[in-house]
Amino acid sequence: MKKNEFRWGWAALLLCLLVGIGLLSTCCQKADDQGIEYDSSAFVTLTDAVPDAILEIRYFGTYNFVGARIDGYEEPTALLTRKAAEALKAVSDDLRSQGFRLKIYDAYRPQMGVDHFVRWAADLGDTSMKEYFYPDLDKSVLFEREYIMAKSGHTRGSTVDLTLFDMHTEKELDMGGTFDWFGPESHPDFCGNPETGEYTGGQSPAGRSITAEQFANRMILRRAMLAHGFKALATEWWHFTLVDEPFPDTYFNFPVKQLK
């Protein structure tokens, strides 16, 4: 190799290294500034960890409060961080011994999906699914009451929305309300005390109630989730987040599809 060729070779290599470092710096800076990450390496496909889980991924279909497939849901699957998936496997084993299987509505949710919710909520004229999910509310209050927010715990990868499937009746357990219902009827303390499991009865402002059996069914799910490292949300009986979540300040934005 001639001396000039040698010099040009090293110069080209140095240039490539500098460009690569610059690109990496830009990527990392974006993640640092916005809290957004695109790497799925810490995640698993939920059914790889919990093979008997039933999936009904509502945001892949059209039966949800938006009435359309949500951005970022490319396949009807569920993803979680490895740590959350391992904890959910313990929940599943516990509940199987009681005659139940887990049914998953949603798990990891990309930021692009949350952004889709925000755009939908700002469009006050789109109320096609109102009668199914928020009949008692004017759509204009969804931000104010925090039914829709610009950030979601789901996007951190360790939150799951789920219910129970009864293996004896071969039906979904009756929880007295649908997933993603916007209203006090979805609160874990509706008609009872979730800390003691005591049913107290009562009605919502709209005159709705749930039975003692329906409240008890919600408590079966709640007790199992809390016993294996998850915490509950005060407004949704179906929503749980891993207490010791591995990415408490990171929001991911890769699509929902099978991981390879």
pLDDT in tens, 216-248: 999 999 999 999 999 999 999 999 999 999 999
pLDDT greater than 70 at residue 12: no
Residues of the chain with pLDDT > 90: what percent?
86
pLDDT at 34: 60
Query: 37, 56, 185, 236: which one is catalytic?
Result: 236
Q: 33 pLDDT exceeds 80?
A: no
The rounded Cα 251 to chain-centroid distance in angstroms is 12
- pLDDT level of residue 8 (50, 70, 90 thresholds): very low
Own/partner contacts of 207-216, CB < 8 Å, gap of 24 or more, are 208/183, 210/176, 210/177, 210/185, 211/176, 213/174, 214/174, 214/175, 214/176, 214/177, 215/176, 215/190, 215/191
Residue that is written with structure tokens 């995640």 in the block: 43
Q: What is the mean pLDDT of residues 77-103?
A: 98
How much is the pLDDT for 9? 45
What's the rounded Cα separation, in Å, for the pair 198 and 216? 8
Kindly report, residue by residue over 133-180, the tens digit of the pLDDT: 999 999 999 999 999 999 999 999 999 999 999 999 999 999 999 999
For residue 40, pLDDT over 60 is answered with yes
Task: Tell me whether residue 236 is one of the annotated catalytic residues.
Answer: yes
Q: Does residue 1 carry a pLDDT above 90?
A: no
**pTM for this predicted structure:** 0.87
Domain range list for the chain? 1-34, 40-252
> What average pLDDT score do residues 24-32 get?
38
Q: Tell me the CATH architecture of domain 40-252.
A: 2-Layer Sandwich (3.30)
Q: What kind and span of H or E run contains 242?
A: strand 236-242
How large is the average pLDDT for residues 116-132?
A: 98
